Amino acid sequence: MSSPTIVTCRGVSKRFGGLLANDGIDLTIARGEILGLIGPNGAGKSTLFNLIAGAFPVSSGTIMLGDREITALSAQQRCKLGVARTYQVPRSFESMTVIENVTVGAFVRQRRVSAALEKAYRTLEYVGLVEHATVAAADLSPPLKRRLEIARALATEPTLLLLDEVLTGLTPSEARAGVELIRTIRDSGVTIVMVEHVMEIVMPLVDRAVVLNLGKVLAEGKPKDVVRDESVITAYLGDRHRAA
């Protein structure tokens, strides 16, 4: 029995001037899955990610969150409905402490400062950052800044979490810790969509992979099937993968 759908994209396209970055994309995301968006540079991954998050308006098509159309809603409105995201380049409030950064996210649900601070502290415990609570965000290492991004997003209490290259640039041990955290988040009931380039990490992690190329869906399915797809090998993985 398939899981209920949390996101549906129907004929979603995005133009930037004469560039068609996404071209009539049809996509469903099942509630409770980890979905990987992969593909070569310029494939349209980040654009689709931003369209779902509400950072860009669509040029045509519709986006549904459950039974509700969210195509015209702002990123802030989508956040209140349960859509949270991180950024490829972390966007922390550098002069604020770690707990203050996460409290900003908590204010999406909490009205009282005390309640927001309590939520932020519990979230820092959850992601393993509580010992850095009073450290300025500017003083965190890049891996910890990525984890701070996740914490701030989680403090909004999302049902859908969009992760933009949160495992890129990490050491093997840092990446393993990141994978463990992502699985823990999914097991808590949050649906996850990941844009990633580190194939060795992301493919064993995701439940389903969607490969984009030239703004269109090239292939989708179980990771083990996608990596054997001849069109994916030709467009993205290359001859070295075919030989392996």
Q: Residue 244: what pLDDT?
A: 54
Do 108 and 67 form a contact (C-beta atoms < 8 A)? no
Q: Residue 199: what pLDDT?
A: 78
Task: Tell me the residue length of the chain.
Answer: 244
The Cα 157–Cα 152 span in angstroms is 10
- The predicted-structure confidence for 62-75, as pLDDT tens digits, reads as follows 999 999 999 999 99
Read off the pLDDT band of 3 (50, 70, 90). Answer: low
- The predicted-structure confidence for 179-231, as pLDDT tens digits, reads as follows 999 999 999 999 999 998 777 888 899 999 999 999 999 999 999 999 888 88
- Own/partner pairs, 173-181, CB within 8 angstroms, 24+ separation: 174/143, 175/201, 177/128, 178/146, 178/147, 179/205, 181/127, 181/128, 181/147, 181/150
Question: Which residue in 140, 232, 159 sits closest to 7, CA to CA?
Answer: 159
pTM exceeds 0.75: yes
